């Protein structure tokens, strides 16, 4: 049997036996991913909506290119930056978050945030520019206009969620640097794959990759169903 075939068999075996270390790694992967995603959405969606709606925002000529640049941040650079911030000599060293899931969440949030802001901004800008004015005419407050516009942009905002989720769950460089890939503490699926590859356990590494892709597919399938339902209205 080739490496690929063995990988599928191993992946099935790991899942079937509910391998404890796999369960732990998957659980931490989901925990870090969801926490970073929620924080990125709570901050990024309002900021993206505000920038998208404020077409005469002072400094917009600089803010928008900065957001776009952030959308392409190299994860390993984010990891290095977060490492330096959280290290003992760094400004947030006192928190003791280096080599902990909290530190990994910080790094992942920094990676996801510009994606959420940029794609939400683009989604809001894609809404008919007459809509806010017409809602104001119907008696909406500025806050209500933002809410209605966001709801109209919901398909694009869901795309922002999907992009951020994909960036977080598949990311390896930053979590490796900040988390340290410590078994039982900071090991997630991507860092486990790197480790098993380095050890020459290609089948196990591929098996973990298949599980990672499976989780990503199931989540994205759910997001897509949501988008289809939104688009049908």
Q: Is 228 in the site for another protein (CB under 8 A)?
A: no
**Closest CB 144 distance from another protein, rounded Å:** 5
10/152 with CB nearer another protein: 152
Provide long-range contacts, Cβ within 8 A and 24+ apart, for 221-224.
223/158, 223/161, 223/162, 223/165
User: CB of 166: closest distance to another protein in angstroms?
Assistant: 25
Interaction residues for another protein, span 107-136 (CB under 8 A): 128, 130-131, 133-136
Q: Which of 9, 141, 182, 222 binds another protein (CB under 8 A)?
A: 141
Residue 233 CB, nearest distance to another protein (Å)? 5
**Residue 157 carries which DSSP code?**
H
Q: Given the complex with another protein, which of 27 and 151 has the nearer CB atom? A: 151
139 binds another protein (CB under 8 A): yes
Q: How far is the CB of 165 from another protein (least distance, A)?
A: 23
């Amino acid at each position: 049997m080739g490496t690929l075939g063995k990988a599928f068999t191993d992946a099935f075996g790991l899942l079937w036996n509910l391998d404890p270390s796999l369960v732990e790694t998957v659980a931490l992967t989901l925990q870090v991913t969801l926490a970073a995603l929620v924080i990125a959405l709570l901050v990024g969606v309002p900021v993206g909506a505000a920038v998208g709606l404020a077409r005469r925002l002072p400094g917009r000529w600089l803010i928008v290119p900065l957001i776009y640049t952030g959308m392409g941040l190299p994860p390993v650079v984010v990891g290095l930056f977060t490492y330096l911030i959280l290290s003992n000599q760094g400004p947030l060293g006192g928190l003791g978050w280096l080599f902990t899931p909290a530190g990994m969440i910080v790094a992942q949030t920094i990676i996801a945030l510009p994606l959420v802001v940029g794609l939400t901004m683009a989604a809001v800008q894609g809404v008919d520019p007459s809509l806010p004015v017409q809602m104001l005419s119907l008696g909406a407050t500025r806050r209500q206009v933002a809410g209605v516009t966001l709801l109209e942009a919901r398909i694009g905002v869901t795309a922002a969620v999907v992009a951020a989720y994909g960036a977080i769950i598949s990311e390896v460089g930053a979590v490796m640097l900040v988390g340290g890939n410590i078994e039982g503490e900071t090991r997630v699926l991507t860092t486990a794959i790197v480790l098993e590859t380095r050890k020459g356990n290609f089948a196990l590494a591929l098996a973990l990759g298949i599980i990672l892709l499976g989780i990503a597919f199931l989540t994205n399938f759910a997001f897509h169903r949501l988008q289809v339902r939104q688009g049908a209205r």
